[in-house]
Amino acid sequence: MEPLYLKGCRHDILGHYLKAIGLLRVLAKCADQVHRDPDAEGWWDMGQACFCLRSEKCPTMGKLVEFFEKHYRPTPLAAGWNGDVGLDEKTAKALKIESERTLALSFSGRVVTGKPEGQLLLGKLSTRQAFDAFRDAIEQTLAECIDAISAPRYSHGGDNPLWLNKSIAGRAHALRTHWEYVAKWENLRTQKDLAAFVSLVTSSLEGNSPFTKPQKGKGTPFFSDAIKAYNVGSGWVEEKFPFNALDYILAVEGAFAMRGTVARTLGANTRRFAAFPFVFDTGENLVNKDGETKQTAAALWFPIWDRHITFLELASFIGDAQARLPGKEVRFSAEFSRALHSQGVDAGFSGWQEFRFKQLITDVPWITTGRYVGIHCRKEATLLNQALTPLDESNFLDQFDLFRKKDGKFDKNGPHRVRATVNAAMETAAHEPTPHHCLVLLESIFSACRQMCVSKSFREKLRGKRASFFQALPMEEWNTLLNPLESQAEFRIARALASITGLQRQGDGGYSAAQPILGSLLPLTCGRSSWFLPEKGDRTQQDVWTGTDLAYDLAAVLRRRYVDSLKDEQPALRAVHGAKLDDVLTFLRGGLDDRLIARWAEAMSLIGWYFGKEEDEDAPERANKKTSEGVEPAYAALRTLLELECESQGQDRGQWKKRRSQQPITLLCQRSASSLPLAVSEALRWISIWGVRNPWGAVARAEKPRITGRYVVRLDYGNTSSSIYDQQFADRLAAAVCIPVRRQDHWQLYRSVTLPPGI
C-alpha cells in the first residue's frame, strides 16, 4: 500500500508536528469503533520533509477527507477550574452548554447538557477532590485529555508550555480558540459544501491550496501570531504557511497525545512540567513588553522516527518515557541533550526536534524552531556524560532557580542566568563534544562556583540560601576528552597547574592540610562527599587567586602553598601532569597567552587529579637527549631546588630527610630584581648540600649516583650584579617556577646547575 505523503505536516514546525501526531490519534480514537483505524501507521520522511501515513481504512486522500466529513468527532475539552471554560456565551449557547462553570463530557465525544445513559455530567470543579473523583469516573481516553489540560493546575506549581499559562496566552485563550475553530469546522461540514471542505482538509495536510489567509489578532500556543503566521527557523514566513481551522484542531489533538502518565501528572517530584515528559527548562528569561521577567523559557524535545508505528505504540512510549542521567532525573534542556543516548529515551527513534519558547517585548511566549539532533552512537557523548556524573548526582544546577524579590517580581539578573550560561555551554558540548567545547563548559561551571563563593548576596538568592557544590570531576574521562589539545603549549601548562594535588598522605598516617589547587583559586574545602564553602572563620585562607594577572597569581600560589605545607614531607606543589620545559621557558619569556592559560587552569582545577604508577627513574634520560643550553640559570636553580624538595626518597618514609629552604622561595616570591640574586645563590647552596641525581648518563651515575658540592654551579651573590635581572624577568620568574615540569625534563634542569664529574 502506497502511503500518503503529508507535506503540510513538517517535523520542524511545532504546529505541523502536532498535526501529524494528532492525525494518528484521531484515526485511532476519535470516531465510532467501526470507523476507527488503530492500526494506522505513521513515520517521518526527512528527505521530503513530510509525515507519511498508511491506513487501510483511509488509503487515499479522498478517504481521509471522507473520514473528517462523516466520522471524526473532535475531543471535547474545557477549563473546569475557571469562570470561563473556554467558550463565550454565544458559542456556549450554540453548543448547548448552559453554564460556563459546568464541564460536560460524554463517552461518545459530544457535548451535552442532560444525563442520558453513557454520559457523565459534573458541576463545579472547585477542589482537587472533585477533580480526582471526576477523573476516576470518566473513560480513559478523556482522562488523558484532562491530564494534559489540568497539569498546570494540579502539578507542583508547574506549567505545561503547550497550554502556556493555564491555557491563557495574553488575550488568546487556547480553549476558546479551540472551540472557535471547532465551530468553524462544524459549520463548514454541515453546509454540505464539499469542495470547500476538501480544500480545508487537503490544504492542512498537503500544505498547498490555501483555504484561508492568516487572520489578524489570532494567537495560539502551537502556531505564531496570525499576523506573523508560522515561525520557521529564525524568520517569519506568512505566504507559504497559511492558517486554517483544521490546523489548530489537529494540533490540539496532538497536544493531548504528548502528555505524561497520570502518576507523573498528580504525584511527580519535579518542580516544573510534571505532566510532560519532553519539556525542559533552559534558564533563559521570558521578558514581557514592560521589560519584566515573567518566567524562564522552556524547550520542547519531540521524537522523530522513520519506522512505521501506530498511535498505540507511540502513546505507550510517551507514557513510559523517562529522561535520566546518572543520579538524577533530567530537568534542563542541556541535560536532555546529554540523555538522548540513554536507554529508554531514544529507543526506536532516529532523532529529536527541539522547539524553544521566546518572549521579548510581548506578553505571549512564541515558539521558535531549535536544532534537530540525529541519534547515533557517539563515544565522546557517552564519555561526557560520565565526566559530568558528580555534577548530576549533586543536583548542582537545580539550585539556580528564578529568584522572586520582596515586591513579588522576578529578578531578571537572578541566579538562573548563571544556569542559563552553563546550560548553553553544556548543550553545545553535548552536540559537539570537542575539547574546546568541553573546556568552555568547565569554564562556565568554574565561573558559577566563583560567583557562589565571592558573593553573599548571590548565595542568599539560591535555593535554601546556601551554596552547594559537587565532588571533583573524574580524571580519566576528562583526560580522554581533552587529550587532543595536548599539542598546544597553553593547554600543557594549564593542565600542569590544574593538576597540582593536595591533601597528600604523610608518613605518620595523617594528611596534608594543603588543599588541591582548586582550594588556592576559590575559598573551598574538599570534604568527604564534595567541595564545600566553610564559614568565614573556618576558611583555610589558601585562596590567593585573583584571575586578573597570571604572573602575580602564580607567585602568590607558590608562596602560599609552600608556606602551608612547611610541616609536610614535601611542598604542596607536586602535580600529576608536568609541562614541557620548553613551554615553561617560552612562558617565562612572555611568548604564550596568559589569559588562555589562566582560564584553562581554572576550568581544569575542577577535575580530581591523582597520581598513578610512578615512572622508572631511568626512563626520562632515555626519552630526552637534549642539552641544557638555553635554560636560564636563575630559573634552573630555583626550579631544581623545588624539585629536590618534592623528590621521593624511597619507599621507607621513615628514612626520609626533610628538605626545606624557605629563604630562596620567599625571596623569589617578592618578585624583585634586587633580591633575586640572593635567592639564586641560596638555591644553589642548598642544591650542593642535598645533591641531584647524576644527569650525565648511566656510566657516570654508576660511579657517582648523586652530584653534590663542588660539582654544583655556584653564583655567589657578592659577585653577581642585580642588573642582569630586569624587573620583567623577576615578575615572571616566580610564576614560571610554580609551573610543574614533566619528569622527562628534570635531566635538563640538573645539567644546567651541575658540571660533569671529573671536570
Nearest 5°: phi and psi at 76? -80, 150
Phi and psi at residue 505, to the nearest 5° = -70, 140
Q: Is the dihedral of CA 450, 456, 461, 463 positive or negative?
A: positive
DSSP string of 271-289?
A: SS-TT-TTEEEEEEEEE-T
Residues in the chain: 759
N-to-C CA span, the chain: 95
- In this structure, what are the phi and psi dihedrals at residue 282, rounded to the nearest 5 degrees? -110, -20
Distance of alpha carbon 618 from alpha carbon 702, whole angstroms:
12
Distance between CA 308 and CA 304 in Å, rounded? 11
Listed residue (65, 60, 91) closest to 76, CA to CA: 91
What lies within 8 Å, CB to CB, of 759 at 6+ separation is 711
- The pair phi, psi for residue 510, each rounded to 5°, is -85, -175
pLDDT digits (tens, 9 = 90+) for 91-106: 555 545 444 333 433 3
Residues 6 or more apart whose Cβ sits within 8 Å of residue 480? 383
Residue 618 confidence (pLDDT): 47
pLDDT digits (tens, 9 = 90+) for 400-450: 988 888 777 888 888 999 999 999 999 999 888 999 999 999 999 999 999
SS3 call for 264: helix
Would you call 77 exposed, middle or buried from its count of C-beta atoms within 10 A (0-12, 13-18, 19+)?
buried
Please report, to the nearest 10 degrees, the dihedral formed by the alpha carbons of residues 477, 479, 480, 484 taken in order. 150
> What is the pLDDT, as a whole number, of residue 129?
55
CA-based diameter of the chain, in Å? 115
Residue 93: its pLDDT value, please?
A: 58
Q: Do residues 7 and 52 touch, judged by C-beta distance below 8 A?
A: no
Cell of 535: 564559614
Residue 238 is predicted with a pLDDT of 45
Q: Cβ distance 476 to 483 under 8 Å?
A: no
Q: What residues are paired with 120 via a beta bridge?
A: 105
Closest of 496, 383, 484 to residue 429, by C-alpha: 383
Residue 109 φ/ψ region, left for φ over 0, alpha for ψ in the -120 to 50 degree band, beta for the rest:
left
Q: Which residues contact 379 (CB under 8 A, 6 or more apart)?
A: none
Q: What is the pLDDT of residue 468?
A: 93
> In 240-264, which positions are buried (b, 16+ CB within 10 angstroms) versus exposed (e)?
ebbbbbbbbbbbbbbbbbbbbbbeb
Sign of CA dihedral 359, 365, 371, 377: positive
For 59-73, what is each residue's pLDDT tens digit? 999 999 999 988 988
Contact 121, 102 (CB under 8 A): yes
What Cα–Cα distance (Å) separates residue 147 from each residue in 140, 151, 357, 722? Answer: 10, 6, 22, 81
Place of cell 626520609: 656
Shortest CA distance to 199 belongs to which of 26, 73, 10, 65? 65
The amino acid at residue 159 is: D
pLDDT score recorded for residue 77: 65
**Buried b / exposed e across 433-468, counting CB within 10 Å, b at 16+?**
bbbebbbbbbbbbbbbbbbbbeeeebbebbeeeebb
- Rounded distance, CA 598 to CA 69, Å? 69
Percent of the chain scoring above 70 in pLDDT: 74
Distances, alpha carbon 292 to alpha carbons 69, 282, 359, in Å: 46, 18, 10
Looking at residue 21, its pLDDT comes to 93
Pairing relationship of beta strands 706-707 and 692-693 according to DSSP bridges: antiparallel
pLDDT (0 to 100) of residue 227: 41
**pLDDT tens-digit map of 239-271:** 444 567 788 889 888 887 876 544 344 333 444
pLDDT value for 650: 80
- CA separation for the pair 364, 356 (Å, rounded): 13
DSSP three-state, residue 176: helix
Structural contact between residues 758 and 707, judged by C-beta atoms closer than 8 angstroms: no
Q: Where are the chain's structural domains?
A: 4-73+181-256, 75-162, 488-649+659-752
Closest CA relative to residue 326, chosen from 383, 259, 373, 273: 383
Comparing CA positions, the residue from 169, 126, 163, 124 lying closest to residue 147 is: 163
Q: Which residues of the chain have pLDDT under 70?
A: 76-176, 192, 208-243, 259-276, 341-347, 359-365, 377, 613-629, 716-724, 759
Cell numbers standing for residue 82: 475557571
Three-state DSSP class for 505?
strand
**Distance between alpha carbon 758 and the CA centroid of its chain, in Å?**
62
Query: Quick one: which of 58, 53, 43 has its CA closest to 5?
Result: 53
- The sign one gets for the Cα dihedral 207, 213, 219, 224 is positive
As given in the structure block, the three cell numbers for residue 347 are 529507543
Cell numbers of 62, please? 479522498
Strand 366-374 versus strand 531-532 pairing type: unpaired
The DSSP code for 425 is H
For residue 586, what pLDDT is reported? Answer: 95
- List beta partners, residue 104: 121
